[in-house]
Structure 1
């Protein structure tokens, strides 16, 4: 320190005088250092003196102080996706897993059979299945009871297969008798959109907020030989482009009634002979390709109508992924549907209690679906719900990468709920 004073000459004397003055008037040591520094700077801007510490600069530098005071936090993301991410981050793992389940309520069963699954296991979606023949008021009473078991800030997705023709699960007073999808294909698209809006309004009045329709499959070959779709007139009965046009109209008509749609059965059940609900035979598709018109119809509906959900088929597609059913294929879900097509909405499964996947242990059905990129496990048999829930939860607890996948799936489901004003 003495060497520094000697080299500074006059500046050193001035610093010493300032220090003595500070001591005389009782100024604190930190104040003396500041005064000494000021005196030094007055003498020469090129002085080799010791700079103030960082903390002292923060106190004495107006520029630094202003910068700290005006620091602005990142803007809050109040989009449905942003809200969903915050909601899921606040959930327990059990609550997140519950959002990945669509449990069935059969016609004639009291809604209370699902109370424990909704209230304690956090199941977030319900499928109304069977022949509900008592009309809108009866369905609404069941829907209201189901919603009463859910948290106020996280209401249920309540779904039904309301396609028309042979597949119309909700009937009776207040529900129109819907023509088959093949007959709907004879309508012009404006008429179909208006009709779908009317059918959607009836669903909304009944408390149903998602229609698991329209079927967007394109039947190739003999219709009677295509058991899941053609034989039941569940498709629009047109070529791929015409089917896409009518599916778009159906989705938009439902949206006009504030009801969400799920197109199905991706990437198409129009080239198999067996019905995946009831058989594991005849469910290998040897012709559908990623660049073919059948998948192209789905891609058009996704781009142009933005359906809330895409339901995955349980058939296997030899030209795409011969080793896995579509619902368990990361090549099809993560690779093509999400990657190539850019779809980031909810991916649901066809019923995981179906015969087509009967060889898979029940507690692994949901795991395989979520691992492939799926979000919402549709289940048509109540006895499967508990093992699928337990399997998902156990795998998420033991595998951090899988837990992250399950979290992202829950975020997509919750994003849809925020979009539909069912959450928040």
Structure 2
């Protein structure tokens, strides 16, 4: 849960009437959203554990790990369920990659997908007898962004359609969709989209509006529906992810396909930020960071590489204590000009926790760069330790750790 703050928001964000309703949803989300650091490893406002010598299962697992194993927990590599590449899978295993993203499209259904996932889980790392299961994620938003389909999976309507439903209906439907993901072995959904696309921009917004990925055109519509999606997911035991902080609703170009995407509208006080604030208050366990640049928040860094965005706005101001995951840092054109290793180091240095790359071949360069930076900077080593703890705490709450 987010830190309690007084109604006077430090950045001047005014909480609309729907905000209070999100607090009720937090009870439903709390069972899955407990990815915040344990009481014994209290976090300060920057997100850094003050005591890494605690004795939770996550803490004991951390202490049993080698440095390469710890670093591997900070990476998520992709597997294409319709055509899994054994070479890439073995590469990820070699570098102790702790999370998997099911990418592309598959119509194989829940049973076949679960068979694939269990095969991946069987190869998961262990440290001194402590099994460290995989976070297995996918994009199961609905509409044109639904990776998994086939027998056992519902055909999910677009978020724009979901946004026309009552929040209770959406929560119930999201619980069904999450139950299907669980049956397929997926424990983390990279959804819901909390971005607000103004009606005046609509489908001219390439990353979100073009595909009807938004719940609506105002924060007053998006926030309660995003919160309902979170609550339904938690009800069925699947962790969910608010994305793409601090919002991709006001850009025209897509960071996946275009370099130098800049949002010239969003500020730290914009109403569109309150959709994320509401989701954090409701217990969102993961937040995905955009790779665009926000000229009115931090004009010199992409959000994924910005401590102002991650450590400042997201963690300190909004009080988020969960896992910060990147958008794709592998093939996305927005980051292609940055050397692969630097992408990982910059993201983690800015306060991120989990590097997503749809190109696993970049993982050796990325992990080596992280380990190299760890030998040079005590501050960076502390940030890595804090991030590993967040990931392990998420895994502990998801039942993915075994401490005997």
* 2:148 counterpart of 1:178: no
Structure 2 vs 1, CA of residues 224 and 238 (structure 1 numbering), >3 Å: closer, same or farther?
closer
Q: 1:116-131, aligned counterparts within 5 Å?
A: 116-131=90-105
- Contact persistence 1:77–1:83 (CA under 8 A): no
Q: Which residue of 2 aligns with 1:409?
A: 387
Report the alpha carbon displacement of residue 387 of structure 1 after superposing the two structures with TM. Answer: 1.6
Q: Which residue of 2 aligns with 1:204?
A: 182
Q: Which residue of 2 aligns with 1:90?
A: 64
SS state at 2:132 partner: coil
**Aligned with residue 286 of structure 2, among 309, 315, 320:** 309
Q: Which residue of 2 aligns with 1:102?
A: 76
* 2:236 counterpart of 1:290: no
Give the alignment's TM-score, normalised by structure 1: 0.79
* 2:140 counterpart of 1:159: no
**Aligned with residue 400 of structure 1, among 378, 396, 400:** 378
Deviations, residues 198-220 of structure 1 (Å, cap 9, x unaligned):
00000000000000000000012
- d(CA) in 1 for partners of 2:299, 2:388: 28
- d(CA) in 1 for partners of 2:61, 2:102: 26
Report the alpha carbon displacement of residue 111 of structure 1 after superposing the two structures with TM. Answer: 5.8
Q: Which residue of 2 aligns with 1:359?
A: 337
- d(CA) in 2 for partners of 1:292, 1:211: 26
Structure 2 vs 1, CA of residues 350 and 396 (structure 1 numbering), >3 Å: closer, same or farther?
same
SS state at 2:401 partner: coil
- Contact persistence 1:217–1:270 (CA under 8 A): yes
- Contact persistence 1:112–1:146 (CA under 8 A): no
Deviations, residues 217-250 of structure 1 (Å, cap 9, x unaligned):
0012321210000111001023102101000000
Report the alpha carbon displacement of residue 86 of structure 1 after superposing the two structures with TM. Answer: 3.1
Higher relative CO (Cα under 8 Å, sequence separation at least 6) belongs to: 2
Of the structure 1 ranges 110-119 and 245-254, higher mean CA displacement relative to structure 2 is found in 110-119
**Aligned with residue 243 of structure 1, among 206, 222, 225:** 222
- d(CA) in 2 for partners of 1:115, 1:403: 27
Task: Report how many residues are paired.
Answer: 347
**Aligned with residue 245 of structure 2, among 259, 266, 270:** 266
- d(CA) in 1 for partners of 2:85, 2:184: 14
Report the alpha carbon displacement of residue 85 of structure 1 after superposing the two structures with TM. Answer: 2.8
Deviations, residues 226-282 of structure 1 (Å, cap 9, x unaligned):
00001110010231021010000000101111000001000000000000011115x
Alignment gaps of 5+ in structure 1: 1-75
Report the alpha carbon displacement of residue 384 of structure 1 after superposing the two structures with TM. Answer: 2.0
* 2:325 counterpart of 1:345: no
Report the alpha carbon displacement of residue 77 of structure 1 after superposing the two structures with TM. Answer: 4.7
- d(CA) in 2 for partners of 1:294, 1:81: 39
Q: Which residue of 1 aligns with 2:205?
A: 226
Report the alpha carbon displacement of residue 119 of structure 1 after superposing the two structures with TM. Answer: 3.6
- d(CA) in 2 for partners of 1:97, 1:175: 34
- d(CA) in 1 for partners of 2:401, 2:372: 27
Report the alpha carbon displacement of residue 118 of structure 1 after superposing the two structures with TM. Answer: 4.4
Give the alignment's TM-score, normalised by structure 2: 0.83
Task: Choose between structure 1 and 2: higher helix proportion.
Answer: 1
Report the alpha carbon displacement of residue 363 of structure 1 after superposing the two structures with TM. Answer: 1.1
Deviations, residues 4-59 of structure 1 (Å, cap 9, x unaligned):
xxxxxxxxxxxxxxxxxxxxxxxxxxxxxxxxxxxxxxxxxxxxxxxxxxxxxxxx
* 2:122 counterpart of 1:148: yes
Report the alpha carbon displacement of residue 82 of structure 1 after superposing the two structures with TM. Answer: 3.8
- Contact persistence 1:81–1:412 (CA under 8 A): no
